[in-house]
Structure 1
Amino acid sequence: MTEGTPWKVILRFSIPVLMGNLFQQLYNLADAMIIGRLVGVYPLAGVGAAAAMSFLVLGFATGLTGGFSVVTAQRAGQGDPEKIEESAAASMVLCAVTAVLLTVLSVATAVPLLRFMNTPKEIFPYARTYIRITYLGLGAVLYYNLMAGLLRALGDSRTPLYFLIISSVLNVVLDVIMIRGFHGGVGGAALATVISQLVSAVACHLYAVKRYPVLRPEKRYLKVECREAFAHLRIGVPMALQFSVTAVGIMILQAYLNEYGALVVAGYTAAGKVENLVTQPFNALAMAMEVYCGQNMGAGKRERIRCGIRQCIALGTVCVILSSTVNVCLGRPFIGLFMETCDPKIVEYGYVYLVIIAVFFWLLCTMQIMRSSLQGIGEAAVPMAGGILELFSRWAGCAAFSGISGYAGVYLSTPLAWGMALLLLTIRYRWLAGRGFFDDRQQGRT
């Protein structure tokens, strides 16, 4: 990604990422639709109540592997195979250790967190079952994200797509088998997702080590030196914490919504699935910018980074218009897909959320692009601080707006959080630009 017109290489890279993300969201949608239609509204609400907790841990895993892949991308830009191999080995060892520690910790704290969030008693058993199985399958998520991140760091965004397609189809089939065939309920749906992710991870790994020898590190590299571990953790841990801090903010929002009852939670859950689907173009552009900025940083092409950020935001503007239109025009029928018998109240609870966030999608898209770009050049502290600011802004918004506008006020806390995080990231970017960071002639002095 160090050659060619920036917007073209960014778009070319992001399209397979987008398709992969869409397939990943489709099997999340399949979970929700099958649970809502075959099991019931309360089990669907239970899955939704556990969603923020799931993101708390899975987001940490995603951020950690994303940070590791930034290091690999920078070394790919330098064109040093030995350094790439060292990075791959360090990433694998660190992810293995993290998987064990994170699984034990998350399973032990699952039930107390559900209680802390005031989960309604009628959906509590479903949320507990779903989140426990999800946490036990954390290793599969880390495994896949690691391999997909390493491939993308080398510029290959297509291979993860192919294996995600396989995983998505397998997940839908297993959902039906587990729920309808074995009457597994929400536990069966969670287990189907874990199995699908594990199959995708193993297949991706086998292909990666065969296609790219640098991703098959020698044994001597598996004894990770402190220097190498620090180089990865320096970027990976802040990115992981940034995801988790964002998740804590969503958990706070979920706790406020839980006070309005299971129907509001069910509407928000269905709307959240729609949101996750229509915002995937933003995520794809952001993921592309991590690799783009990482490789160009390694190659010493800093002016190209600034140009790429501007052109990527322009691409994002087009995506914002399309996503907002889908939310407003098709939000109600999409929410109705998650229920066997359409309940107008649940649909309306969810649709209000979709309309509110559609107005502010431009904040979300720009924030994700700016955050990933800064992370790609090796910035860790400010993106993490942005996540903390997002957390407190969402909390303050929930406290302030819920008393004025009820559940709709709780919804408004989300765009407030996006806007405050974007403000901090923009200040940091402009400060770097003002000091000549993105000037190729100045790189030796920054």
Structure 2
Amino acid sequence: MATPNTNMLEGPLFKRMLVFSLPIMGMYILQLLFNTTDMVMVGRFSGSNALAAVGATGSLINLIIGLFMGLSVGITVTVAQDMGARKYKDVSETVHTSMVIGALAGIAVMIMGIAICRPILVAMGTPQNVIGLSETYMTIYFIAMPATMIYNFIAGILRAIGDSSTAMYFLLIAGVIHLIFNFIFVIGFHMSVAGVAIATVISEYIAAYLFIHKLLVAHDMIRLHLKKLRIHKDKMMEIIKIGLPAGMQSFLFSFSNVLIQSAVNSFGATMMAASAASSNVENYIGTPMTAYYNTAIAFTGQNFGAKKFDRIDRIAKICLLFIFATWILLGGFTLLFDKQIIGIFSTDNAVIKLGVLRLTVIIIAYFTNGVMNVFPGLTRAMGYSVSPMLATLIGACLFRIVWLLTIFTTVHTELILFICYPITWGLAGIFQLMIFFYARKKIRNNQREWVKTKLKTVS
């Protein structure tokens, strides 16, 4: 059996967590580059309407795929806990169950996304000069969903066993191919949003092939045997127990973002383009937070499975340190060069001005976003998945709705709309910290009860 790349159960944590996080950041940055190159290409060569059209789809795409992508969290937690407990047969069963679920989920999301994208774009108040382009982009984009689901599920499996590098290498290959086809379709054939969407589909299926091949040639418990592909009911239930609430959290959070996007749309195409450009930059700063979230899941899951609960406290402290360091370094750099960065996406001065305004409001309190996003990873890896979902529902989603219906309706300005983000992040972040400490206390109490029971049995 091959040894995992990272030993999560013994030795120092800080360096190993940092090294483990870096390739995950690379993977998500490459995924963001798919979208960024799309936006830069259409913004520079097809105009502001095309840029607004692609940017307006982000929150809607996340809304549709978020529920199913949450299952990848359930897969990572299940595999990590079984790895920590050295239940290698269970790991293999989860791998084969995951591939079947991934294929079915991808097909379901593809059909649903193509069917409902137009009605939701209309409901969001997408302007008439943008909606046709947005629909074209999404219709083609969702053809890639089976590939997207499968390779994200496999990436979660690899992280759970200690391999965070392979996914980055595969996404690098796919990213280069994506960029090449963007040049061919957008600049060469003048295909605008259709061109960037087709480039995305091609690169996603290439990435899926690379990931599947990785499992087919593996020499350990994660090896994929086509004849063994089936759903193991107990593993499916474990995945759903953790993954469904995680998916619901993503869905609810994306729903609140759709509501905000609708408010953005009410200001017109210039505001849409500015918000899209700023959001893309924010996603790059959020990428390390996502990496820390996945690192927290893998490290906490294995140590939870091995019943090494003291190490979970150290993992939490290191995560906090990572969050604040990232906020200061990347956030400071972004604020220092905000005009130049937004200018990459558009040469329109009105777009740049609004983009800088949003970016400033977001970055000043971005550490709250990190706390809100990272700590659910620790909590879920300890087996508590419903509570983090409720924290996001109350702290972020419901409060955003209240904000939009009251304060924003009263003071209908861009600044008031942007302020909604850091306030709701902070509220949800406080709730997530409270839930983490609650889960930590519960597992320690359960451990004490288990020790007492064992002592009584022995005596």
- TM-score, length-normalised on structure 2? 0.92
Aligned equivalents of 2:90, 2:79: Cα separation in 1: 8
Aligned equivalents of 1:284, 1:435: Cα separation in 2: 26
Q: Which residue is 2:107 aligned to?
A: 100
Cα deviation, residue 118, structure 1: 0.3
Q: Which residue is 1:278 aligned to?
A: 285
Cα deviation, residue 14, structure 1: 0.3
Matched, 1:401 2:433: no
CA contact (8 A) 1:110 1:128 kept: yes
Cα deviation, residue 440, structure 1: 5.9
Gapped regions of structure 1 (runs ≥ 5): none
- State which of 159, 163, 182 in structure 2 corresponds to 1:175: 182
**CA 1:326/1:181 → structure 2, altered by over 3 Å: closer, same or farther?**
same
Q: Which amino acid aligns with 2:404?
A: C
1:279 match: secondary structure:
helix
**CA 1:435/1:206 → structure 2, altered by over 3 Å: closer, same or farther?**
closer
Cα deviation, residue 421, structure 1: 1.6
Q: Which amino acid aligns with 2:377?
A: S
CA contact (8 A) 1:323 1:358 kept: no
Cα deviation, residue 417, structure 1: 2.0
Which piece of structure 1 moves more, 213-222 or 427-436? 213-222
Q: Which amino acid aligns with 1:32?
A: M
**CA 1:66/1:433 → structure 2, altered by over 3 Å: closer, same or farther?**
closer
Matched, 1:437 2:441: no
Cα deviation, residue 24, structure 1: 2.0
Q: Which amino acid aligns with 1:361?
A: Y
Matched, 1:354 2:359: yes
**CA 1:242/1:444 → structure 2, altered by over 3 Å: closer, same or farther?**
farther
Matched, 1:189 2:196: yes
Structure 2 counterparts to residues 156-175 of structure 1, below 5 A: 156-175=163-182
CA contact (8 A) 1:300 1:443 kept: no
Root-mean-square deviation (CA), in Å?
A: 1.9
Cα deviation, residue 424, structure 1: 1.8
- State which of 377, 386, 395 in structure 1 corresponds to 2:382: 377
Matched, 1:343 2:335: no
Q: Which residue is 2:397 aligned to?
A: 391
Aligned equivalents of 1:223, 1:266: Cα separation in 2: 45
Aligned equivalents of 1:160, 1:308: Cα separation in 2: 23
- State which of 364, 379, 392 in structure 1 corresponds to 2:369: 364
Aligned equivalents of 1:98, 1:255: Cα separation in 2: 27
CA contact (8 A) 2:94 2:232 kept: no
1:379 match: secondary structure:
coil
Cα deviation, residue 184, structure 1: 1.8
- State which of 57, 67, 91 in structure 2 corresponds to 1:60: 67
Cα deviation, residue 116, structure 1: 0.5
Cα deviation, residue 15, structure 1: 1.0
Q: Which residue is 1:18 aligned to?
A: 25
Cα deviation, residue 115, structure 1: 0.6
Aligned residues: 444
Aligned equivalents of 1:121, 1:10: Cα separation in 2: 48
1:101 match: secondary structure:
helix
Structure 2 counterparts to residues 230-245 of structure 1, below 5 A: 230-245=237-252
- State which of 91, 101, 109 in structure 1 corresponds to 2:116: 109
2:411 match: secondary structure:
helix
1:300 match: secondary structure:
coil
Cα deviation, residue 223, structure 1: 3.4
**CA 1:351/1:445 → structure 2, altered by over 3 Å: closer, same or farther?**
farther
Q: Which amino acid aligns with 1:385?
A: L
- Cα displacement string for residues 289-334 of structure 1 (whole angstroms, at most 9, x for unaligned residues): 0101111111111111111101221122111101221231112111
Q: Which amino acid aligns with 1:84?
A: V
Aligned equivalents of 1:280, 1:228: Cα separation in 2: 29
Cα deviation, residue 245, structure 1: 1.0
**CA 1:26/1:225 → structure 2, altered by over 3 Å: closer, same or farther?**
closer
Q: Which amino acid aligns with 1:346?
A: V
- TM-score, length-normalised on structure 1? 0.95
Which piece of structure 1 moves more, 397-406 or 79-88? 397-406
Q: Which residue is 1:76 aligned to?
A: 83
Aligned equivalents of 1:261, 1:105: Cα separation in 2: 27
Q: Which amino acid aligns with 1:280?
A: T
Q: Which residue is 2:34 aligned to?
A: 27
Q: Which residue is 1:294 aligned to?
A: 301
Aligned equivalents of 2:41, 2:226: Cα separation in 1: 45
Aligned equivalents of 1:37, 1:375: Cα separation in 2: 42
Matched, 1:261 2:268: yes
- Cα displacement string for residues 191-246 of structure 1 (whole angstroms, at most 9, x for unaligned residues): 11121111012112212331343223456753323322211111111111111111
